[in-house]
Chain A
């Protein structure tokens, strides 16, 4: 798509050790010094807006618009979100464990842009990022960050859940309005950025909007991190936005000929046949147009043979059903029912007649998007694996049902606080 380009946020990362402060400076240079003023930094916000950066946590909301809204509020709070709830994502932890200083730079830039004082960084309890971020923070004087460990649950990384946890409650999503940009941490207008977004902001502050837009898609510019799972394993890659799904997978050695279906956007994402997925550009608008979503840059590619997409989808559905927050009836009743229906089809070839009705009535009736995402994943599995479903229903489950599962699902965490 874009001709010559170099890795940006992953620059200098090599091996398993985090870059030291000096090594980080040698790769990226210093953050431009700005006189500490009072209130929001209008020039910086304009630059972020001009860059066209979209949030990298999954929703793809413009980072500049967030900064402008929150920067206009009184005594805003800033939260870096490194709680990578999606089991098929690894980019955030990779970034925090390999170049923690870039994430801290991003927090410094964000705090400065909105005129805040202190920043919070949330990561999963027990994550290796706790040690690397804490160590990096000790080397720094330019930014005050409080690091928090929150429960490693699927819905707990949703921003309203993060805010509720920071306010002393359970890490469960809350009802909007009010949005966190109006009333968030300690009741203040709050800006929550994913840690990759922070890293991108750290580079925009150094090199400017024009530099940022020089690679990637015209409307959704820059580079993006992908977490790619293929039969060969899982890897994080940085690609220009707009790169096709096929190109990203081929770079991992996953050829079209050997490819099966692709799950785009994570466990919360959309199954697509390789034919549909292969030439799709990795942008939010293209994915939406194809009935999917880019999510947090997650690609999961099944092989053509040996793995049953239906049983993989059923296992993910069961996992997502168990990860509901127990708050909203349509979700905590509907998702287990859907997961049981999909599992019955995958393992016993039994068709649950209520499935299609559930798929239409469950979405959009929760406080957060959890039921919507899970429903979309299940609906797309049923259409993408329609042929397999037919065979399961007529001849019983396939041999791959008993094979070792390809996609891991984490054991459920037990607490919300």
Chain B
């Protein structure tokens, strides 16, 4: 599983980084920084929760 951000709908609420601090950091404007790497399996449940928690549904999960 990988996490992608929809940069157009992301409005820098930052909940994803609260949920997944070990994977998502915020830039100084509050927008998430991701490196596009494959997510470790133990974080997948957290990622799903982060996707559901995002106020604008901008956290996209891709299976590959």
Co-complex (A, B): yes
Mark A residues whose CB is within 8 Å of B. 174-175, 327-331, 333-334, 354, 361, 365-367
Knowing A361-B27, A365-B7 are in contact, say whether A329-B33 is a contact too (CB < 8 A).
no
Interchain CB contact under 8 A, A175 and B8: yes
Interchain CB contact under 8 A, B31 and A329: yes
Interchain CB contact under 8 A, B33 and A328: no
Interchain CB contact under 8 A, A333 and B31: yes
Chain A residues near B30: list those with CB within 8 A: 329
Closest CB in chain B relative to A321 CB, distance in Å: 14
Alpha-carbon distance A225/B29, docked complex (angstroms): 41
Alpha-carbon distance A331/B31, docked complex (angstroms): 10
In B16-34, the 8 Å CB interface with A consists of 27-31, 33
Closest CB in chain A relative to B24 CB, distance in Å: 12
Alpha-carbon distance A333/B8, docked complex (angstroms): 13
Chain A residues near B6: list those with CB within 8 A: 175, 367
B53 interface residue, CB < 8 Å from A? no
B15 interface residue, CB < 8 Å from A? no
Interchain CB contact under 8 A, B7 and A175: yes
Closest CB in chain A relative to B39 CB, distance in Å: 18
Interchain CB contact under 8 A, B27 and A328: no
Interchain CB contact under 8 A, A366 and B7: yes
Chain B residues near A331: list those with CB within 8 A: 7
Chain B residues near A327: list those with CB within 8 A: 7-8
B1 interface residue, CB < 8 Å from A? no
Chief secondary structure at chain A's binding surface: loop
Interchain CB contact under 8 A, A330 and B27: yes
Chain B residues near A367: list those with CB within 8 A: 6-8
B10 interface residue, CB < 8 Å from A? yes
| A326 nearest in chain B by CB position | B8
Alpha-carbon distance A334/B27, docked complex (angstroms): 10
Alpha-carbon distance A190/B34, docked complex (angstroms): 31
- What are 17 A-B pairs at a CB distance below 8 A? A175-B7, A175-B8, A327-B7, A328-B7, A329-B12, A329-B29, A329-B30, A330-B29, A333-B31, A334-B27, A334-B29, A354-B28, A361-B27, A361-B33, A365-B5, A365-B33, A367-B8
Chain A residues near B7: list those with CB within 8 A: 175, 327-331, 365-367
Given contact pairs A175-B8, A327-B8, A328-B10, a sample of 16 additional A-B residue pairs in the complex whose CB atoms are under 8 Å apart? A327-B7, A329-B10, A329-B29, A329-B30, A329-B31, A330-B27, A330-B29, A330-B31, A333-B27, A333-B31, A334-B27, A334-B29, A354-B28, A361-B33, A367-B6, A367-B7
Indicate the member of A329, A331, A361 with the most B CB atoms within 10 Å.
A329
Alpha-carbon distance A185/B7, docked complex (angstroms): 22
Closest CB in chain B relative to A372 CB, distance in Å: 12
Knowing A330-B27, A361-B27 are in contact, say whether A174-B8 is a contact too (CB < 8 A).
yes
Interchain CB contact under 8 A, B31 and A365: yes
Chain B residues near A333: list those with CB within 8 A: 27, 29, 31
Interchain CB contact under 8 A, A328 and B29: no
Alpha-carbon distance A249/B43, docked complex (angstroms): 54
